[in-house]
A and B are shown apart, each in its own frame.
Chain A
């Protein structure tokens, strides 16, 4: 339904999609500006940073396309319109996700894909079948990890109500973090996003294998294939959090 409503204004859709493409492209302009002054950033060249950027942007774009409407949940809890969703015979999660589904978010996916393609072409990597196979697996697992973050953030909003910006710190913030090599950040921060909130498995860990670099924390070799497992665990935990949040929901009564 939201796709049809968007397509009713075709010109506006094209304009906003192009606009989104430019907006999301600005992140990369920032990185390109940095590399106009230096050849390596924390030991990584531009093509390698673009590889990290493209992988995380593709995963994040897919998750954002599917679940990016989740931050509207806080408003629904506040004004009581969540009740309408509860009485319908469709899972609430699917309804919230479809609420104001914005097709223009494909721009983010598209931009990630462009940067990733450029990175793959200009990288100096001897591709093995294993490395090639790892790429789609990484993107799908990364998208699942970001989806779990979106759902967990939505579950948190049952409690916090108008604190949807906290969610932005983990979704957009996490995405920004992953655009840069792990060697940029302090060890504690890298440890935090590897073991506590395992965002590192979206791109850092598998990419370190593709790029032939040791991961900063000295993870064992098999960890680079751990992304699907990590993603499954994250989704399970997010599912539990979502159920708990939904069960604790009390309507406003207005």
Chain B
């Protein structure tokens, strides 16, 4: 059944064709701007953060490809779930014979999968064709990279699930969504790669769950680290955050009071 939900999530986002084209265009424009600023920076410091210029460029296009896929600044299922909690429709969902967390995970994986193919591939190909990049020729590395992307999708879901559940207590989710946007943008390394962040700040940021989103997959793809430490970080955060989501969910469902007949 969950596979059908995955396919449903995929199909649903696939219907917004114009929006997908618009997204591809926007990601390409932002990628271009970032590439030039990174090149200016790496021109001054050629081995900043252990990256060469070609690796910095690869990192930019990877970030643009994964931006919508991993909903770094939000914008996936959580908006709908928050609305359902606010309006009370969540009560109906809780009656259904499907588990709430697994159902939304399946739905969001479908969405991520579509965004990866629909919005991710084209800007990435553009970047690879126009700029000098550092990509591996080894299929095994690519396979490991795809696994890290899949794990990143789960971690991203788990973060946003917790954010969405906070609506049970807060009712209005604007504030937490804003926090999610701030943290997502900076801590996932969309602004600058996390290995460039200096000092203690850098060390903290590199073990937060957002490091599992972009920095991990990028380092695996470019051979900066072995795949196993990245899998371990991503897996640990996925398990911890999903378990936290499960706890919060059971606490929240005990609070739900169904009004009316």
Contact = CB atoms under 8 A, between A and B. Distances in A.
A173 B48 CA distance: 25
Interface in B152-174: 172, 174
Given A19-B175, A34-B41, A165 B191 contact: no
A217 interface: no
Interface residues of B, number: 35
Contacts of A38: 41, 44-45
Given A26-B186, A33-B191, A37-B196, A161 B18 contact: yes
A29 B192 CA distance: 10
Contacts of A161: 18
Interface stretch (B25-33, B102-110, B138-146, B208-216): B25-33
Interface in B161-204: 172, 174-175, 178-179, 181-182, 185-186, 191-192, 196-198
B1 to A, nearest CB: 30
Interface string B11-23: 0000010110111
B16 A162 contact: yes
A163 B175 contact: no
Contacts of A27: 191
A23 B40 contact: no
Nearest to A178: B33
Contacts of B21: 163
Contacts of B41: 34, 37-38, 41
A226 B37 CA distance: 27
B182 A23 contact: yes
B25 to A, nearest CB: 6
A16 B41 CA distance: 33
Interface in A160-176: 160-166, 168-169, 173, 176
A36 B198 contact: yes
A173 B30 CA distance: 6
Contacts, number: 97
A161 B191 CA distance: 30
Given A36-B198, A41-B41, A162-B18, 18 more contacts: A19-B178, A19-B179, A26-B191, A27-B191, A30-B192, A33-B198, A37-B41, A166-B22, A166-B26, A168-B26, A169-B26, A169-B29, A169-B30, A173-B29, A180-B36, A180-B37, A186-B36, A189-B36
23 contacts: A19-B178, A20-B178, A23-B182, A26-B182, A33-B192, A34-B41, A34-B192, A37-B45, A37-B48, A37-B196, A38-B41, A38-B44, A40-B44, A41-B37, A162-B18, A163-B19, A164-B22, A165-B23, A173-B33, A176-B30, A180-B40, A184-B37, A185-B33
Interface of A: 12, 15-16, 19-20, 22-23, 26-27, 29-30, 33-34, 36-38, 40-42, 160-166, 168-169, 173, 176-177, 180, 183-186, 189
Interface of B: 16, 18-19, 21-23, 25-26, 29-30, 32-33, 36-37, 39-41, 43-45, 48, 172, 174-175, 178-179, 181-182, 185-186, 191-192, 196-198
